[in-house]
Each structure stands twice: as structure tokens, then as C-alpha cells.
Structure 1
Amino acid sequence: MFLNYLKIFVRNLRKNPSFILINVFGLSVGMASSILIFLFVQHELSYDAYHEHSDRIYRVSRAWYNQDGETSLHLGHAAPPFGPLLKSDFDGQVEEAARLLNSKVVIKDEENIFEERRFFFADPEIFKIFSWNLKKGNESSALTFPDGLVLSETMASKYFGEGDPMGQTLTLMIGSFSFEMIVRGIMEDVPDNSHFKADFLASMEPVINFYGGYEEMMKNFGNNSFGTYLKLAEGVDYKDLEAQFPDFLDRHLPSDSRSSKASLGTSLFLWPLKSIHLHSNLDSEAEPNSSIEYVYIYSAIALFILLIACINFMNLATARSAKRAMEVGMRKVLGADRQLLIRQFMGETVYMSILAMVLALVMVWIVLPYFSNFTGKELSINFFSHPEYMVGFLILVLTVGLIAGSYPSLFLSGFQPVSVLKGTYKIGTVHEKFRSILVVSQFAISIVLIVAVLVVLRQLDFMKTKDLGFEKDEIVVLPAYKEFTDNYEMLRERLLKQRGIKELALGSRIPSGRLLDSQGTQAEVNGTLTTIDIRVADIHVSHSFMATFGIQTAAGRDFDYQLASDSTQAFILNESAVRAIGWKDPQEAIDKQFLYGGRRGYVVGVAKDFHFESLHQPISPMVFMIPDDRFNEVAIKIDPGFKDEAIAFLKEEWLAMKADFPFNYYTVADRFDQQYEAEQKIAAVFGNFAGLAILISALGLFGLATYSTEQRIKEIGIRKVMGASIWNVVSLLAQDFLKLVLIGFVVATPIAWYGMNQWLENFAYSIPVPWMPFLIAGISAALVAALTVSSQSIKAAMTNPVETFKVN
């Protein structure tokens, strides 16, 4: 039976190669698109699943609350005491606990200086939680040595080449602190589908010493920079354990300022390991995560493209119905029943789907390296490591074959032999309407995708061009090491003499970063010093910070070099902080008493609100102060006309001052743009797949136009004999299809508006859904339809009427 279906398919391929190839091409494009997105989605859903006990591993996060209960900050990290305390307090429920502390280190070998960012101090228990295999060394002891260091295979090759790294010493530098570590282990590279990647794991001992010993470290609940992971005992429900955390916090933390219970101001949460990558986008993450929303979006696009391809096949198959009507009639006369014919046509479709899959896999093989580079994922089709792919592709072939062949099979097998053989068979209005619905569906999906890409591009343009309230362009940022901060005034005077350097300032954080630092706040409100139960983020700055970034003043003044008290008593707030504290306007805040983190002073100025963080976040209350230290970065404002000269000078000065450290800088403008990479990628995805949707829709419309022209060929001939012009005929044939595009536009508009409105809610600052993308999408779809239909309409209109009357 199947061999017979194959023979019929081959026979039709020889008789109508162009029809078969167009059909196969449409299906293959849909399949290839779906396979690419399937590989991406499968990779996203596989994060951290490779760990042996991944279902029992959880990360601890910490949140803080304002007085009204609103979350003011939620970190994916926790303070150093929490890991050991959770293990001891919940012994029997918590099987293992381990902490990780990420740090940027500088490593110098015999010839080069490297800056490494995937460096983690780690507790020895980390190997009991994560399934990271050591190729050399002992998992149970490698990090128990105070100087123990474990390298990934890539780092071992980078620093030691073909030599044996075991027992070798590396000198590490963190800021001005230098220490030596001995290689005690080599581990396999951390897989790409991990929510963070570690190239180095070092003993926690240097960190303990930095805190002044283990006892002092266990008292520090303020530095919430430690990734804390738990492996729960089998059968433990993490929600039941999480419910015990408020009492745990009340036992170990000092009381909250609002009550005797610390748990009213802060909470701990457990995140299942496999959910972190797609569901955890907290205020601090080990690495930027993705979002389950984008997985849904990609999956929906794959489904839409595949659906359009199937609709395209249906339209093309029914467009050729007139040429197969006689075949169906003869088969029925010779005894074939409808079920047999349905199986025949479905079999042909499945064979066509198999051929399309082969072509689709070739397309994927060609495109996959570019798609992998675009997504930043290591995607591949490896049937040896993933034999389930074969099953998935087989299911895809059968699904596409059944969906695409269902309607044509029912349609073609329903021809009445008497009517067909007499030449009087006519297509019913139900079938005509159904094909119209298919075309409307195709163009509705295409229009939704076009609108989506245009709205995303509009939002991206808005984010990149919006006035952030400060001057971000041409601000170069360098690390502020001790050698720089200790000699800051002298270096500042020297640098300002260089052509191209306009201003510079120190800061604990620089705009484009996250506001993660805050302390207790009290302010004078209505003559009384009042505790402020909202989070006010602190930024430690030098005197020239506001001038460097061009931040405008709403009231009061900037920091003054001539006033020594500004270094110990002066505070500058932003307008959001003024409103949150309860002062009626910026002027009222001036000269009010202000206590922050143990420092007492006065508000000397109020800065106008500006976007310190990306437009995903609302503007937070902020306080600026001049500290004795805590400077992490130096911002240097460059004259764009002398940028290269200024950068060269900075590099020369840097190497003279800090020869052991690489000269690496970033610009504030570039780092703001990097925060919108997810939106840039989704815009590109929408754009590419919207183009494919239009292409496949045009093929489907071409098929329906061909069918319609064949059905009306005698009518066209009569109209031409009666004096109709080519334009009259083209207009007659085109108007019906343009109506379908218009209906598709009407259907797509509310869907696109709702979808994009929901997407824009992810931003604290966004554009309203504009009307122009809808107009552009509608016009684009109409033009594609007009060009597609006109190609067949003009051909029919130019046919000699005599020839049309010869058509049987």
C-alpha cells in the first residue's frame, strides 16, 4: 500500500514538478524554522538539569520590604552566615549547604596579564551539591586547603598549555590585594546550559581572612553578595522549609526598626535550581538570565510559521484540484471508496512531508552556526547524544503531513464521479469560504508579526534616545584601584590638563549599573527626626560627580570643594527620595537633618530625577554622599573630538601607575545599550520570521490565485470579448483577495495591540502602542498580496480569448 502511494507521489512529481517543489519548499521553510526554534527552546528548558540531584538543589534569595509591604529589593544572593546557619538549624532537612562569592581577579603569567570574571571563592561542599567532575584532584579535599584552587580544563590549557597544572602556583590580584593559590584540581568545563559558569573555584579561606576570621564573618548580615545553595534531603518539600524561614530570621537577625521581628522587614526564599534561568530575574543574578516569556514567544512563532506552511500547502493542493478531478472520478468509477482515496492523498502528503524534512534539515545545517551565534547558545543537532531528536522529527513529519493533508484529502476525495466526468462539478461555497479563512489566517499571523517587530523597534529607539536626565555619551569608566583613589586629587589635576579630558569623578556605582546598596535612613519631617521605612539607595561619590555627568540641581547646591564639612555631613538627594520621605517639594528638603548609615548631617541639595538604571526599572530614591573610601570606579568625561588622543593618554597613565593590571574600560552609553540586548534579539527574531511568514503566505496566495484563475478562465475570455481591458480583468481578480487581506488586518489588529501592550508592561518606561506600525503592516501585506495576485491575473488577462474557450 505504502509503496503504491510512493509510486503515485513520484508520478505526480514528474508530471507537476513546479507544484510539488513549491509545496515542498513552503513546508521545508516552516519545518526548518520550527526546528531551529525547537533547538533554542529545548536548550533554554535544559538549564542546570544535568546535575545529578538537580530536583533537590535550591538557591537562597533575600528580599527587603518597605513599610507598606512592597518589595524594595530582591537579591539572588544572601549574607555569608545564612548558608551555615540553614544547614545547622535545619539538619535533617538540609543535606548540604555551600556558598559562592564571585570576584573579578587579575592573573599574570610569564608573558600576559588577564582579567578573569568567572572566578568564585567556594565552600568545599560545592562539589557535593553540583555535578562538576574533577579530571584531576580530589573533590572532597581540593578546596579544603587554604590556598586550594580548581581550574576548568579551558583555563588549565590557557595558563599551563600542555604541562601539568597540578601543584602549580598562580598569583592572583583583587584590587590591591595579592595572594597565591595552588592548583589542587582540574574540572570539566561548566556546561553552557548553566545559570552561571565558573572557570575558577578557590578556597573560601582568603575571604574568611578578609572578614577578620570565621566568627566575624558569621556576624555579617549586611554584605549580601554570596550565592547560597542548598541540597535538601529526599522527600523534603521546599515550600514547607521556606515557611519556617521567618522564625529562623527572628532567631538570628537583630530586630527590625519597625517592630521586634526582623522577618517583617526581610525574607528568605528558595528557588528550584532548574527554574532560575527562566523564572528568576532578580535585582542581582550571577549572570543575566532569560525569561519564560521569551520561550513562549519563540514557541508561538514556531507554531505560527508551521501553521502558515500547512495552510500554504492546503491552498496549493486545492488550487490544483481541477487537474486531479478526473483522476478522482475515474478511481471512484473503478471501485475506490472515499476512505481509500483519503489514505492515498494523506500518503502523498506524508511523502511530501518527508522530502520537506530532508530539505529542512539541510537548511538547518546551513543556518545553525549563524543562529547559534545570534542566540549566544551552543546549539547543535547531534543524533548520537540526542537520539530523541529522531523521534521528535518523525513526529513533526507525521504531524505536518496529517495537518497539511487533512483538508485537501477530504476535499479531493469528495468529488462526485458523475459530475466530474460530465465536466459539471462545481466547488461548494463551504469549501470556498474555508479556503478564504485559511488565507485570512495566514495574513493575520503575518500582520501580527510585522506589527510586533515595528513596536519592538520603536521601544528600542525610545530607550536608546530617551533623555535620561544626565549626559551619558563619551563617559569612559575605569576601575578605581587604591593607587588611584589615594592620589586622586593629584591625578585629577594632571588628567584635566590633557586635551580631550573634560572632567572626572569617583563613584561607588556609575549610572548604567544596578542600585544595590542601601542603609538605614532617618530624616527631619515636620520638625521631628523620623525613621524612613522606604529603601534609599546610596551612591558614594567625589565632589565632581554631578558635574561630570551633567546632573541638574532641582534645589540647593552641589558638593563644594571649599567646604570641609561636605565630606562628612552633606547629603544630596534626588527628587524621588524627597517625595518618598514626605517633603512637599525639593526646596523644603534643603538644610533638613538627615541620618544615613550612621552618618549625621544635612541635605544641601536635591538633584533632578535621572535614570541611573535601565528603563526596565523605575527611578529609585537615591542619596549621594562623599565617603572616606568605597570608591569602585572612576568616570572620565571625554571630548569626542579628541577621544583617541585622550584614551591613549589614559592608557599610558594607567600602565605607569598599574602596570600589573590590564587597561580595560567601558563607556556608559554602551553599557546602557547592552541592557537591551534581549529586546534587540527579539526584534531580530520577529523581523526574520515575519519575512518568512509573508513569503509563505505569498506562496499560499499564489496557489489560491492560480486556482481562482483556472476556475474563471472562460469568464475572463467572455469579458475580454465584451471589451474588458487588462486592468479591468486584473482588478476583478485582485479585489477578492485584497478583501481577504483587509479582513486579516481587522482580525490581527486587536490581537497585536493586546500582545504588544502586555509586552510593554515589562518596562517601567515605555511608549504607548503606536498606530503607525499597524498601518505599515496592513499596507505591506496588501502590497505583497497585490503583487502576488497580479502575477497570475495579468497572465490570465493577456491570454487570447480564443484559447480560453478551448479549456475543458
Structure 2
Amino acid sequence: MYTNLLPMFRNYFKTAWRNLLKNKFYSLINMAGLTAGLVIGILILLWVQDERSFDGFHKKAADIYRLELFGGTGASKQIWSMTVAPIGPLAKKELPEVAEQLRMTYNNYASLYKYRDKSFADERAMFTDPSLFTMFDFPLVEGSAAQPFPDAHSVVITRKTAKKFFGDEPALGKVISTETNENYTVSGVIDDLPLNSTIQFDMLMPMTLMMQKWLEAKIDLNHDFNSYMYFTFLQLKHGVSPAGLGPRLNQVHLRNKPEDTDADYLLLPLNKMHLYNADGSDAGAQTVTIFMIVALLILTIACINYVNLSTARAMLRSKEVSLRKIVGAAKMQLFLQFVVETALLFLFSAVLAVVSVRLVMPLFNQISGKQLVFDIANGRMWTVILCTIGATLVASSIYPAMLLSSFDPLKALKSKLSISRGDAAFRKTLVVIQFASSVILIIGTLVIYRQLNYIRHKDLGYDKSHVFSFWMRDMRPAYETAKGKLLGLTGVQGVTASTNTIIDMGGISGDNEWDGKAANQTFIVHPIAVDKDFFSFFKMQLAEGEGFTGTKADSTHFLLNETAIKEIGLQHPIGKRFRSWKINGTIVGVVKDFHFGSMKQKIAPALFYSQPDILSRMYIRTTGENAAATIRAAEELFKQYNAGYPFSYAFLDESFNQLYQSEEREGTLFFYFAAMAIIISCLGLFALAAYATHLRFREIGIRKVLGASVPGIIALLAKDFVRLVLLGILIAVPVAWYAMHQWLTGFAYRTDLNWTVFVIAGLITIVIALATISFQAVKAAVANPVASLKTE
């Protein structure tokens, strides 16, 4: 039996090849649609696989959780990913379920690192506990994981950093110095971090050194429950559930700081850290789900093209099938024949798709912000590719093969065979699904564009136009002198400074007190030190009171934004006592709310204070016309005080746009996906229109002889397809409304889902569909009727 299989399948392939060559037009249409669908589907699914793989490479990932704080009152209550320093060690000490703890925080003490005559600025340096090397799978290629930091001035660096600092020289034992004249000895080299790691760094210093620095400021980190500056990870004993640990950690915290009753601890699983918040809400998972659906929609559209053309042209092959049946072909043999035909077409499409994926991968990475690599040895990548191709092949081949192998041979030979109403309805349903999917993607693109446009043009509560900023570093003590020089330049309209960037104010503090504070009330606020011109520079409005005056009295004055005043419940705040950290002072002004972060979150409480000696970021407003000259002047001034540093600046407009980089990428990808969906759908529509025109060739000729006009014939051929497109739009609108409504809920400040979006998407689809159909319709309508009447 098996000896007959090889000749049989050889015959199948030979017949399939001849049929593909005989119908080149339809074969090319099918191949183009399938190739395009596979390329987009594979790229999206590789993107999805990468997103879902984050942090999964750690062997203990299932037992590791990041500790997060759900703290504050009212609108200020939100999830903070940074906690106080003592909570990790206390959790390990007091909770038997905790096997290990780890704290990490940024090194804000140094920003320039030198080795001999080389200097490097702004390396991603962090302080950490040594348990990082036993809890996570960041393997040391040099050094000891058991003792990564032999002393407080040890440093572990990545392989990439070692190459940058030392070239091909051995890294162990080398000494790196900082601008603060501290020396660090390289005690280990860690393998470069995987791209799908949420935790990223270039250099690691011991947490013991951080504690020493705070002790110099007379603050013991082991008992400091006011500074929320640390990422804390807990490794639970294997198999232990985290349920109930949050409330017990709350009790540990309250024993040390009883007034923080509004602060709740949450445990976020390590393998969910990239896509979810600690309360289970979305932090990217929704986007991954949407992209998976998009991939399936585009693959479905490509499959529908093949199924529609195969079933539509089934009547033309009915006699072929009937003759095969009469000479003894079984139904299963015919079924296999048509499956092989589909497989052969898929083979060509799959090869083209894989080659195309390899070629467009750099462009896809540029658009998506990924660094995916087309590695032929990557089994996971091939799993995605082969599963995509295999599933699409099965979906496309089964129904056409069943239909073509089921004809009644006698009826077919007598030309009395007709496609059933059910088959015709099925084909029409597929066309409706195609265009409904395309309309959903077009609506998604338009909504994302509207939301990004809304963000760009929304009144932020401050003016960021023509402003660039940079870290002052050693220029800080000479700030007033530098400010005076810059204000003397023609192109400079204003100069100010602060501790953090106004785009994202960063740090938080829970050590606050005021007149009328309720018992056990927790108030978490974003503090920022500013100079006296900060509010006028950014054209920010004061709701009450006054700003800073530049006098010594400013050191005990505070300004809060409207949200902060509302949350602490002060009716008449001006003149009321307020304490932040160890500074007792008075509220002198209330700043109108402004956006200092992503519009995905509500405006949070903000606190402004005056401490000139810690101002670190300078802002310069230019006229716009002399920006280049102003930047050069600022660089020259910067280098007078920072000879070892490279000058690095950023315009606020650019920094603001970076907050929405992922949304920008989503919008760009959606645009391309929608365009490809329309192109693939129109390829199928074009072929179906050509086939419908071919079937009605004689009818068109007769109608023209009897006086039918060209517009009338075009309308006759187009109306059936237009009805299907309109039905697709009607189905797509409620689905797209629901999907984009869910997406918009991720923004605290968002545009509305205006009806014009749906009208525009529908009109775009109808115009493109009409243009596709009309090409064939016009071609048939202007043809010489004599030619059609002479056929057959």
C-alpha cells in the first residue's frame, strides 16, 4: 500500500503545479495575499512572544515578587513601585514564608565614571543587596556570586560596560573613579542582561555603601520609613502562596510608623511585572492582547481571500472533478488533491514570507522599538512561524477541498450544477468578515491618532515651548552667575532651575505634617525644589497666595498644587503650618494643577520648596529663532564648570513625547496593519470582481446592445459587493467602539469616541472598495459587446 503513495502524491503535485500555472492571475493574487498576511502575522506574534517572555528566564521567577505600596488618601492614593528601605529585611526577619529579600535603588551620588583618560557619563548604576546574584539568574562570568562585593567600594559591571571601559584588558581588579573622588574596584563582571529583562543596569554597587552615605547625613536606613526610594523584591519559599502576606507586611510597617494606616502592601509576581500592575490592572497586557487579535484578524483576512476565490471558481472546475470521479477517483483522493494544491501554493507563500520577515525585521524593530533578531537557530521563533503557517494552511484548505470534492459528476457533465445558496452565503459572510476586520483596524488607528493629538494639544498648565534643559552637575554652585550670563544673550527669554524635570517629577515623600492633619492620615506627595523664577518661567498660574521671593525666608515657605490642598483638606491654606521632612514652614501659595507625568494617571499632589544649593537641572527658554546659538553658548558655559562631562540637553517637547513613545509606536503599527488589511482584502475583492465580471461577460454584452449605459453596468456589477462592505462596516462599528473604549480607559485624561471617527473609517473603506471593484467593472463596461456575444 505504501509503495503506491509516492507516485500518487507525485501526481498530485504535478497536477497542482499545472493548475497554478494555468491560472496565473488568481495564483498570484492568492500568493500575494497569503504572503502579506503571513509576514504581518508572524511579525506580530514574534512581538507578542517577546512581550510575554519578560523575566521568565529566571529559574525562581514563580517564587519572586516585587513589593509595591498602595498608599495615599483619596485621589493621591495610587500604586508606587518604590518602598522604604527597612521593609525588605523586616519581611525576611518576621515572616517565615520569606526566603530572601533584595533591595535596589539608583546611584544618584555619582554620574561621571573614569578609567585612566576615559570618562563616561550617565551609566545605569544602582546600589543593591548581594542577594541579587542568588535570587536572579544574572550569571557572573568573572567574580564570585557568593561574595560579589568584598568591600563597600566594590563594583560589578556588565560585560558590555567592561568592554567600553577597559577594551580587551581583564576587568577584575581595575579601579573606576567618580567625580566625587571615590574609587571603586571591579569585583565581578556580569553577563549582558537579556533584552527581555525588566530589570536593567550597567553597574552595581553594594547597598552597604548607600547606608554609610545616609549615616553621614544622620539617617539610619534600617529605621527610615519616610524615604520611598527602593525597589524591594521578596523570594518566597517554594510553593508558598503570597495570599495574606500584604496585610501582615502592613502590620510590620505600622509597628514602626503607626500613622501610615492608609498604606497597603501588594505583591506583584515577577513574571507579571512587565505587563500588569500590582492590583492586577493593565500595564501593557491589553496592548499585547489587542495585537494578538490583530494578527489573527490579518491571517483570517488572508485565509478568506483563498477560500473565497477557491469556492467562487469551483464551478469552473466541476467538469474536471466529475471526470476524475467517473474514472474511479475516490472522494478522499480528490480531497487530498486539492489539499496538496493549497499546500503547494502555501509552500511558495511561506518561503516568500520567511524571506520577507528576515528583510523587514530591521524596519519592524525601528517602528516597534524592539530588538528582535531573526535567528535561524532559535527554536522558539520557528515554533511561532511554523504554527502560524500550519494553522493558516489548515484553515484555508479544508473547506475548499471539501466543496470541490463533493460535486455530483452527472450534473456537472450536463452543466446543471450550481453552487448552493448556503455556499454563496458562506462566501458573502467571509467578505463581510474581511471588511469588518479592516474597518476595526482603521477605527483603531484613527482613535489612537486622536488621543495622541489630544495629548499634544491639551493645556498642560505650563508652557514648554522652545525650552531645553540639562543637568548642571559641577555648575550648580555657580548657578546664579551662569544664569546672569545666559540672560544676557540675545536668544534667551528666561532661565530657571529645579531638582527634577517638570515632565516627570519623580521622587515621593510620605513624611509630611500640617495644621489640622487627621489622625493616621497618610499623605504622599511629589516634592521638588525650584528657584524663584520657576513659576513665571513656565507661565504657571497661582490659585492663591504668592511664589518665592529669592530671600532667606523662602527656606521655610512651601507651595502646594490644588490637588495636594484638596487631599489634605485645608479650606484656607495660606499661612497654615506645613512640615516636610525635617523642615517646618508655612504654606505661602497654591499652584494651579498642571500635568507633570503621563496622562494615564490623574494629577498627583505636588510640593514646591526652596533650597538653592540642591538645584540640579537648568531650563533655558529660547526665542525659537536663535536656539542653535543659545545651545552652543550654554554648552560653552557648561564646560567651564564641567570639563570632564559631555554636554547633554533635551527639549521639553521631546521629553514630553517620550512619555507616550509606546502609544506612538502602537499608532504607527496600527496604521501599517490597517493598510495591509485593506490591501489584502482588496486583493481578494479585486479577484472576485474579475471573476464575477467573467461570469457575466455575455450578459454585459447583451445589456450594452439593448442600450445599457456604462454607469449603469458599473452600478450593476458593484452593488452586490458594496452591500457586503456596508454590512461589514455595520458589524465593525460596535466591536471597534467597545475595543477602543477599553483602550481609552487607560488614560485618566482622554478624548471622546466621536461619531465622526466611525463615519470617516466607513467612508475610507467604501471609497477603497469602490475603487477596487470599479477597475474591473469599467473594464467590462467599455468592452466591445460584439466580442462577448461571439464567445461560447
Q: State the distance in 2 between where 1:534 and 1:636 align.
A: 33
Matched, 1:491 2:482: yes
Matched, 1:510 2:501: yes
**CA-to-aligned-CA distance 1:308-352 (integer Å, 9 cap, x gap):** 000011112123223212112212322334443223222321222
Matched, 1:362 2:351: no
Aligned positions, number: 781
Question: Any idea what SS the aligned residue of 1:181 has?
Answer: strand
Q: Which residue of structure 2 lines up, in the alignment, with residue 2 of structure 1?
A: 9
Q: Which residue of structure 2 lines up, in the alignment, with residue 171 of structure 1?
A: 177
> What is the CA distance between 1:715 and its match in structure 2?
1.9
2:459 is aligned with what amino acid? D
Q: Which residue of structure 1 lines up, in the alignment, with residue 389 of structure 2?
A: 397
Are the counterparts in 2 of residues 341 and 413 from structure 1 also a CA contact under 8 Å?
yes
Match of 2:30 among 16, 20, 23: 23
> What is the CA distance between 1:485 and its match in structure 2?
4.0
Match of 1:326 among 319, 328, 331: 319
Q: State the distance in 2 between where 1:295 and 1:317 align.
A: 33
Matched, 1:784 2:768: yes
Q: Which residue of structure 2 lines up, in the alignment, with residue 146 of structure 1?
A: 152
Q: State the distance in 1 between where 2:40 and 2:671 align.
A: 13
Are the counterparts in 2 of residues 61 and 74 from structure 1 also a CA contact under 8 Å?
yes
Q: Which residue of structure 1 lines up, in the alignment, with residue 603 of structure 2?
A: 619
Question: Any idea what SS the aligned residue of 2:470 has?
Answer: strand
1:789 is aligned with what amino acid? I
Residues 253-332 of structure 1: matches in 2 within 5 Å?
253-256=256-259, 262=260, 264-280=261-277, 291-332=284-325
- C-alpha spacing 1:250/1:600, structure 2 compared with 1 (3 Å): closer
- C-alpha spacing 1:45/1:249, structure 2 compared with 1 (3 Å): same
Match of 2:403 among 397, 406, 411: 411
- C-alpha spacing 1:559/1:388, structure 2 compared with 1 (3 Å): closer
Residues 106-505 of structure 1: matches in 2 within 5 Å?
106-173=112-179, 177-212=180-215, 216-251=220-255, 253-256=256-259, 262=260, 264-280=261-277, 291-384=284-377, 386-481=378-473, 483-505=474-496
Q: State the distance in 2 between where 1:647 and 1:102 align.
A: 29
- C-alpha spacing 1:223/1:619, structure 2 compared with 1 (3 Å): same
Q: State the distance in 2 between where 1:681 and 1:146 align.
A: 42
Q: State the distance in 2 between where 1:348 and 1:455 align.
A: 41
Q: Which residue of structure 1 lines up, in the alignment, with residue 535 of structure 2?
A: 546
Q: State the distance in 1 between where 2:144 and 2:507 align.
A: 37
Q: State the distance in 2 between where 1:282 and 1:497 align.
A: 52
1:658 is aligned with what amino acid? N
Q: State the distance in 1 between where 2:86 and 2:588 align.
A: 38
> What is the CA distance between 1:614 and its match in structure 2?
2.5
Q: Which residue of structure 1 lines up, in the alignment, with residue 783 of structure 2?
A: 799
Q: Which residue of structure 2 lines up, in the alignment, with residue 699 of structure 1?
A: 683
1:38 is aligned with what amino acid? L
> What is the CA distance between 1:807 and its match in structure 2?
4.2
Q: Which residue of structure 1 lines up, in the alignment, with residue 4 of structure 2?
A: none
The two structures have a TM-score, normalised by structure 2, of 0.93
Q: Which residue of structure 2 lines up, in the alignment, with residue 286 of structure 1?
A: none
Are the counterparts in 2 of residues 350 and 398 from structure 1 also a CA contact under 8 Å?
no
Matched, 1:580 2:567: yes
Q: Which residue of structure 1 lines up, in the alignment, with residue 701 of structure 2?
A: 717
Matched, 1:53 2:37: no
- C-alpha spacing 1:556/1:205, structure 2 compared with 1 (3 Å): closer
Question: Any idea what SS the aligned residue of 1:164 has?
Answer: coil
Q: State the distance in 2 between where 1:640 and 1:103 align.
A: 35
- C-alpha spacing 1:509/1:151, structure 2 compared with 1 (3 Å): closer
Q: State the distance in 1 between where 2:380 and 2:192 align.
A: 25
Q: State the distance in 2 between where 1:582 and 1:244 align.
A: 30
Q: State the distance in 2 between where 1:579 and 1:208 align.
A: 36
- C-alpha spacing 1:800/1:566, structure 2 compared with 1 (3 Å): same
Q: State the distance in 2 between where 1:99 and 1:143 align.
A: 15
Q: Please report the RMSD computed on the Cα atoms of aligned residues, expressed in angstroms.
A: 2.6
The two structures have a TM-score, normalised by structure 1, of 0.91
Q: State the distance in 1 between where 2:530 and 2:425 align.
A: 70
1:76 is aligned with what amino acid? S
Residues 725-764 of structure 1: matches in 2 within 5 Å?
725-764=709-748
Q: State the distance in 1 between where 2:221 and 2:523 align.
A: 27
Q: State the distance in 2 between where 1:524 and 1:52 align.
A: 51
Question: Any idea what SS the aligned residue of 1:477 has?
Answer: strand
Q: State the distance in 1 between where 2:743 and 2:660 align.
A: 14
Question: Any idea what SS the aligned residue of 1:212 has?
Answer: helix
Are the counterparts in 1 of residues 118 and 165 from structure 2 also a CA contact under 8 Å?
no
> What is the CA distance between 1:641 and its match in structure 2?
2.5
Are the counterparts in 1 of residues 467 and 651 from structure 2 also a CA contact under 8 Å?
yes
Q: State the distance in 2 between where 1:143 and 1:601 align.
A: 42
Are the counterparts in 2 of residues 318 and 707 from structure 1 also a CA contact under 8 Å?
no
Are the counterparts in 2 of residues 152 and 186 from structure 1 also a CA contact under 8 Å?
yes
2:389 is aligned with what amino acid? V
Are the counterparts in 1 of residues 367 and 668 from structure 2 also a CA contact under 8 Å?
no
> What is the CA distance between 1:6 and its match in structure 2?
1.4
**CA-to-aligned-CA distance 1:493-524 (integer Å, 9 cap, x gap):** 33322332322223233321145323455555
**CA-to-aligned-CA distance 1:90-146 (integer Å, 9 cap, x gap):** 35x333222222225211344443213321222222111111222222222231322
- C-alpha spacing 1:710/1:417, structure 2 compared with 1 (3 Å): farther
Identical columns (%): 34
> What is the CA distance between 1:76 and its match in structure 2?
1.7
Are the counterparts in 1 of residues 115 and 175 from structure 2 also a CA contact under 8 Å?
no
Matched, 1:555 2:544: yes
Matched, 1:103 2:103: no
> What is the CA distance between 1:426 and its match in structure 2?
2.4
Q: State the distance in 1 between where 2:422 and 2:187 align.
A: 76
Are the counterparts in 2 of residues 100 and 226 from structure 1 also a CA contact under 8 Å?
yes
Q: State the distance in 2 between where 1:500 and 1:354 align.
A: 63
Q: State the distance in 1 between where 2:278 and 2:38 align.
A: 32
Q: State the distance in 2 between where 1:8 and 1:186 align.
A: 62
1:108 is aligned with what amino acid? K
**CA-to-aligned-CA distance 1:650-686 (integer Å, 9 cap, x gap):** 1111111122333222222211110011110111111
Unmatched 5+ stretches in structure 2:
1-7
